[in-house]
Each structure stands twice: as C-alpha cells, then as structure tokens.
Amino acid sequence: MSMETLGNLLQIAVFGGLILAGALVILIWVKDKTKNISTLRLFVQIAFVPLIFLGLLIGPFGLPQNPNLGDAPRERLLGADLLGNQFPDGLSVPILACWYPNGRTVTCSVWQLQAYLFPFWDAGPGFGWGTFYSSNGLERIGITLGLMIAMSLLIGRAFCGWICPFGLYNDLMIRIRKIFKKPHLSFSEKTNKAIGQLRYLIIAAFLILSVILGSQAIVGTQLVGDTAPGEYYYSYFTAPFCQVCPMKPLCILVEVGAGAMNPLEEINHSTGVFYEAGYYVTSLNIIVLGLVTAGALAFRRFWCRICPLGGLTALFSTFYPFKKLALLRLNKIEEKCTKCGICKRVCPTQVTEVYEEKGGDVTVSGCMLCFRCVEMCPYEDCLEVKMARKTVLKSRNWLEPSESE
Amino acid sequence: MKKQNTQKKYVPELSQKEIDELSNSIKTSSQKIVAETIKRMKESDKNRPKTMKYFDEMADLFGKREKEIIEAKKSGKKIIGYLCLFAPIELILAADAIPVRINSGWYDATKIGDRVVPVEVCPVIRSTIGAKMVSLSPFLENSDAIISVLTCDAMTKLGEILTDYTPIWQMTIPRIKDSDQALRLWIEEIKSIKKEIEKLTGNKITRKKLRRAIELTQKATKAFRRLQQLRKGNPVIMGRDAMLAIQTYIWDDVERWTKNTNKLCDELEKRVKNKDWSVPPDTPRVLITGTPMFWPDNWKVPSLVEEANPKGVILADEICSSERILNDPVGVDEWSMNDMLNAIGERYLMASTCACFSSTDGNEDRINWLITKIKDHKIDGVIYYVVRGCMLYAMEYTRVKKVLDQLNIPVYYLDTEYTREDVGQMKTRVEAFLEMLTARIDF
C-alpha cells in the first residue's frame, strides 16, 4: 500500500510541478494584461480536469456493479481513510466532479449530502461496488460538511471560477459563442438576484426529496422496484439532484475518454425507462444538459448562477459568520474607483455589487472569484484580491506596460 | 438629416468685409499672444523639455494642423467637430474621419458672441459663437458636422445656435448616470450617432475598424498615463507644458500625438534618472479643478501659477480640457460590435466626473477623483477655477471645499472671465495663495 501511495503521490507531485511551470510560462508570455488572468484561469481549469479524474487513470480500471471486470481502486482514493473512518467515496469538494464515474479522486459534495442524509444511522455497505462504510451517516455528513466549510473558507467560490470542470464547460460555450461573434444576453438585475436566491430553494428541495425517496426505499412502500438499499436503483433515489444534474453526462464522456468505460455496452444496457437513458445517466440529465448548454451559449456562465453547489460554497464563505473567517476576499478601494462600470460589464455572472458598493469587502454570493473584474479594472490598486488579509493580486493599469514605441 | 433652413435663426448677418476684418484682427492678436505665451514658457523655464517643440508647433492653431486638415478635407476625408468630451471619438476615427474639439478659447471672440447671447452666459459658449460668426477657428470652420452633447445649459443652446451654420448632431446625455435606463438611453444615442457618422462619411464602421480605433485611443491613454505617472514624483515638467501637451490631443492626429507624448516621456524619464527637476522639489504642488481652459487665450491661470512669485507648480488637474480627456480607457470584454459599443457608451457616460451630472451622493465620483489625485500627486493646494457664468462648477464648490477641508488641503476659489484685464488682480490673489502654501510647507 505504502509503495503505491508513494507512487500516486509522486504522480501528483510531477503533475503539480507541470501545472506550476505552465502557469509561470503563461504569466511571462501573455503580454496582453487584459488576458493575463483569464488565460491563467483557463489553464488551471484544464489542468484540474485530469487531476480531478485522476482515479480513472491510476490502478486497474473497473466498472461499478460488474465484478467480472475487477474491483474499483477504492484503496487508491485520496479520501479512502479519513479521520479513522472508511470514507470510500472520495474527498468531498465543492465542484461538480461527479461521484458516478468509477474511480473519482474527489466527489461533488451535493451527492454526498443527499446520499448520507438518509438513512443516517447506518454504517455498512457503500454505494459503489465493494465499498463499505465503517461509520454512520451522521459522521459521514459531518466530515462532508466539515470539509466543505473548510474549503469554502479557504478559497470560497474560487472553486467555481478556477477549478470546477463544469465551469470550464460553461467557459468553453462562451468561447464557442465568441467564435461566431455573437453578443451575449444578460438577465435583468432583478432576475439575476432571484436566480441567485433560487439556488438555496433548489438545494433544500432536493435534500428533502432525498429523505422522502430514501425513506420510501427503506421503509418499503417503493414507488419503483429495485430501490431498496443495495438494489439496482437505490443510488438513484437517494441522490435525486444527481439525476437532473447536467454534469453527469459529461462525466461519462471523460470516463469513455479515459478508457474506463465501454460506450457500446452502455447503450446495450439501456432499458428505455424514463429515468434511465444509459448506464447511469437519466434522460433528465441529458435534457437539463441540453438546456444548460443552450443557456450557456446565450448567457455567460449560465449554470453557475443557479448551481446549488455554488450556493452552498457561497453560504459558507459570504454569509455571516463565515464572512468574517473566509480567507480569499475581493476588496475595493473607494477613492480609486471612477465608477466607469467596466467591472459590472465584464462580470460573467453579472455581479453588480463590485460596482455598486462604496468600497471595502465586495465578495458576494454571486461572485465566483474569477477575477475578471480585477483583470479589467483600469485603475491601479482599485480592486484587490486578499488572501488572509494579504494582497495577492491587484488591479493594474493594463494600459501601462511602458514599452517605448 | 433635415434640410437646412437658409434663414438664420439666431445669428445676425455680417458682411464678408466685417467678418474678414474681425477675424484678422483676432487672429493677429491671438497669434501674438500665443507666441508670447510660448516665449514666456521657454524663458521662465530654462530647463524646458526639448520634445515640447512638437507641441508648440501643434499649439499654433493656424499653422501645420490647419493645413493638414484642409488637405485632408480636399482629399475627401470628413472632419467631425465636437463640443464636449462625451462625443465618441472612437466611432469618428473608425469611420476614417478626423475628430476635432472646437470649443474656443479666444477672449476677443466673446465680444462678437455678445451680439447673440447675453453676457451672463458662460464665456466658453460666447467665444465659440463669436469664433463661428467671424470664421475664426480653423477646426470649427472645416467641420462637416458637429456633435453637440447636451451637458450644461449653455452647451445645450450652443448646439442650437450653431445650426445656423453647420449640421449639428445632438446627443442627449442623461443627467443621472448611475441607473440602468440612463445607460440604455446613452448607448442608443451612441448607436444613432454611429449611423449618422456612417451616412456622412460613407464608410461603414466595421468591427475591425472600430477595434483598431479603440486600440488607438487606448494607446493614447497609455501614453497620457505615463506622463501622469511622471508628474507624481518631483516635478520634471511644468504643469502648463504638460497641460498644453495633453490639450493638443483634441485637435491632433491621435497616432502622432501618442508617438510624441511617448517621446516626451522618454526625455522626462531621463531627467528623473539625472534628478534634473524643473523647479525645486519644495515648490508648492497645485491641482486645478473646475471649468475647462482652452488654448490659446484662456491660458492665464496655468501661466500665472507657474510664473508667480513664489512659484507654484501644477501637478494634476481635474478639468475636461486636460486630464479628463484621456483618463479613462475603453475597456472591452469581448471584441464584438455590441460589446464595443457598450464599452464606448460606458466609458463616456459612467467614468465622467462632469459637474453636469447629479446624484444623491453628491457627485461622489468627482470627489473620489480629487482625493485620489491629491494623494497620488502629493498636492499641497487646490485652485478651484470657475469662469463667470459656469453655474454647475460654481455650485459644486462648497461640496468640494468641505471634503478638502477634512483632508486639510487649502482650496482657493478663483473666478474670472474671458478677459485679460484682471490678470494683474488675479496675480495678486494667486501669489497670496501660493505664499500661504509655501508657509505651510516650510512649517
């Protein structure tokens, strides 16, 4: 075990080194200061995709619920053994990195919250093939929430802006739209705020739904067959949000791309029931993905305004009392601002507070800390990014590189 | 465009002879004054940057630039004049036309303007009317159309009066800039002006052309900021020189201006290295704010401050004939036509600190600008310059004074007219103020 762990750590170290080197190269070579941070961000986003799905690349590949093809490499996962608990579902991270593809390194927290919520008293067999929980659901939820809060306090919604693979997908849609030179649409300020609040309703509704469906599966009055614990559809019904989440179909693509899944088998496996279009992708997943893709082509970062996971991260980093503790903040100095409105226009999620607030801490729940505003602000030192009260990034006069012509 | 009525609505008919006579006399006296001002600039400052030569040449309104404009006009290029800084010059540049700002600074022309409007009206407006009546300004004369933005009351009517001569495109600017509907209105105005420009020049403003124009003005802003950066430390250039250099932008070719400003900055950077200051570093540092000052005649305040005894040096200003011309760049997110137009609209409306805007927080933007400039340029005192008849700036004085009092920065209210008669009296007032500043520094 130790040799393999060492090997994995070495792989991660090499990969991290490559990322750092790439970041350095970008910082040196991208001369246009209005594209500096954006390019770096794109690079980080892409670099994180293999890192997130690292579990697909190491060890023997296995298909879930298919013992003939070998076991999933659970023991290789980062969170396999956390705080003395067997924690085989991967580290809980506030990004849409789906639990469903086999061999994930990290897992979307929303899945864990739903799956562990009911039955919370139970230890026992896990959701994936050959997994076992040594602790009960409450403990597991505690770990999930604890990790989530810690990570939100650490870099807050920068997870959305810099790491989340679905954020990358939304950004790619922006790039595709740019190729066709089409302007983007914008929500009215009011609508955008309403959408931002809708996130919390969505997460609450799905958690409640998870309890209801979970209890039905366990207590016995099943709506659909095969939903008791350990049975075929159990993992669908305990995590209802995941059955509409637009990320799941994309995870299949990654899985197929990594060679960890045979797509033909998936198609053969399809039973044609409304909630099951493929191996573990429901038709709702695909419909929502279609809608979100269309939305992302019209609006910038369409999904990220409504994402319940982003909402949770924001909850733990931009609201009292977490607001006081969160480390990564966006700060504005009032006097330097001429209210030119650039920050408001370039914001991909249409956050208006950076423009409207007089000054001070302007990190709000809609902001995913992509720092596009910091990059585009033409006034020196007006906007600054603070990490633990230390300024790490400042708006620069992007016109300034004083090359004499 | 509506058909122009041949009968003049406002302006009295002048005979050609009278026009020529008046115009020649003003021109002669003005050229004398310009020569004298520049001579004094050179003499009182032995250490004047050599690269200022280009801007001196440009400052001669009846010289090289007039010839260039007439030639460009002959070759089919259109000249588009504008009265306020809100005119989107990027669009004019993108349509291959030449933008020139046509506000007049001639003192004597006000007397001719008095025949149309009463003396209570702001002298900038009276002078511009007068200059047009006697065909004085080469830029005003050659303009194929004029963009008039309805900012202050006087400016609103000026556009109307000038319709007697030239096609005028009026743009309504919302007086409240901090709202969604205001921005929407303004961007619609920008779009309609774009159509007018395309119609007049016959050139379509394409995405590529507009992008090039925006990048051109961004480069100019970059050069301007470089110059401003140099004015933050010990004075390496006299304020009136810098102000003149900046002001030539409003009639010069943008690309050439950028090149020469960069040359000026190169020279100044060398001076900073050699610690070659134009005045002793303990000279009182002054900021000027208020009504615009236009070359050639209305240059008395900068000259007075920097030729007074004790001397002051102007390190920054907040007037729309100098720093505000170039302070804000157009920041484009995506280079689509739509976003570029939005960016242009926002740059002109929202970043502006013009006193014509009203807001419930008391034109906070202007206050913030002043505070930042005062801190950045280590200003010792502020001269609040107002010409008689400029109500908006006069009314904002108390607001500015209160803020500056809190910062413990003395501010002096200097009101004047378009006239040379009060120079002696102003000199005494400015010198008293500068003496007080010197005493504060010594203390």
Residue A386: predicted pLDDT: 92
Element (H, E) at A206: helix A189-219
Residue A59 binned pLDDT confidence (cut-offs 50, 70, 90): very low
Query: Inter-chain contact A335–B350, Cβ cutoff 8 Å?
Result: no
Residue A66 binned pLDDT confidence (cut-offs 50, 70, 90): very low
Position A82 pLDDT exceeds 70: no
Residue A152: predicted pLDDT: 93
Give yes or no for A404 touching B (CB within 8 A).
yes
Query: Inter-chain contact B346–A341, Cβ cutoff 8 Å?
Result: yes
Query: Inter-chain contact B221–A345, Cβ cutoff 8 Å?
Result: no
What span, in angstroms and rounded, lies between the C-alpha atoms of A354 and A160? 18
Give yes or no for B180 touching A (CB within 8 A).
yes
User: Which of A34, A182, A338 shows the shortest C-beta gap to B365?
Assistant: A338
User: Which of A340, A346, A378 shows the shortest C-beta gap to B350?
Assistant: A340
Q: For B256, how many CA atoms within 13 A lie in the half-sphere containing its CB?
A: 11
Tell me which residues of chain A, numbers 85 to 124, contact chain B at a CB-CB cutoff of 8 Å: none
φ and ψ at residue A385, rounded to 5 degrees = -100, 125
Residue B308: predicted pLDDT: 87
Query: By C-alpha distance, which of A391, A393, A395, A303 is closest to A349?
Result: A303
DSSP 8-state code for residue A183: P
Residue A62: predicted pLDDT: 41
Contacts of A324 (CB under 8 A, 6+ apart): none
Residue B14: predicted pLDDT: 83
Position A194 pLDDT exceeds 80: yes
- Chain A residues touching residue B222 (CB < 8 angstroms): 399-400
Residue A223 binned pLDDT confidence (cut-offs 50, 70, 90): low
Give yes or no for B351 touching A (CB within 8 A).
yes
ipTM score assigned to the predicted complex: 0.86
Contacts of A65 (CB under 8 A, 6+ apart): A129, A232
DSSP 8-state code for residue A182: P
Residue A403 binned pLDDT confidence (cut-offs 50, 70, 90): very low
Contacts of B333 (CB under 8 A, 6+ apart): A345, A346, A372, A376, B339, B343
Residue A4 binned pLDDT confidence (cut-offs 50, 70, 90): low
Q: Write out pLDDT tens, residues A368-380.
A: 999 999 999 998 8
Identify the segments of chain B with pLDDT beneath 70. 1-6
Q: Write out pLDDT tens, residues A298-335.
A: 999 999 999 999 999 999 999 988 988 999 999 999 88
Residue A65: predicted pLDDT: 39
Other beta carbons within 10 angstroms of residue A226's beta carbon come to 13
Residue A231: predicted pLDDT: 67
Helix, strand, coil percent content, chain B, rounded in steps of 5 = 55, 10, 35
User: Which of B183, B222, B336 shows the shortest C-beta gap to A181?
Assistant: B336
Give yes or no for B218 touching A (CB within 8 A).
yes
Residue A29: predicted pLDDT: 79
Distance from CA of A403 to the nearest CA of B (A): 9
Q: Write out pLDDT tens, residues B260-319.
A: 999 999 999 999 999 989 889 889 999 999 999 998 888 889 989 998 888 899 999 999
The size of chain A, in residues, is 405
Residue A221: predicted pLDDT: 63
Q: Average pLDDT in the A108-112 region? A: 88
Distance from CA of B351 to the nearest CA of A (A): 4
List the single range of A57-71, A159-173, B284-298, B318-332 with lowest mean pLDDT.
A57-71
Tell me what percent of the residues of chain A surpass a pLDDT of 90.
34
Give yes or no for A337 touching B (CB within 8 A).
yes
φ and ψ at residue A125, rounded to 5 degrees = -65, 140
Residue with the bigger pLDDT between A52 and B212: it is B212
For chain A, the structural domain boundaries read 2-305, 327-405
What span, in angstroms and rounded, lies between the C-alpha atoms of A111 and A118? 12
Residue B264: predicted pLDDT: 94
Ramachandran region, residue B214 (left: φ > 0; alpha: ψ -120 to 50; beta: rest): alpha
User: Which of B266, B339, B369 shows the shortest C-beta gap to A338?
Assistant: B369
Element (H, E) at B371: helix B364-376
Which chain B residue's Cα is nearest to A174?
Answer: B334
Contacts of B5 (CB under 8 A, 6+ apart): none
What span, in angstroms and rounded, lies between the C-alpha atoms of A350 and A348? 6
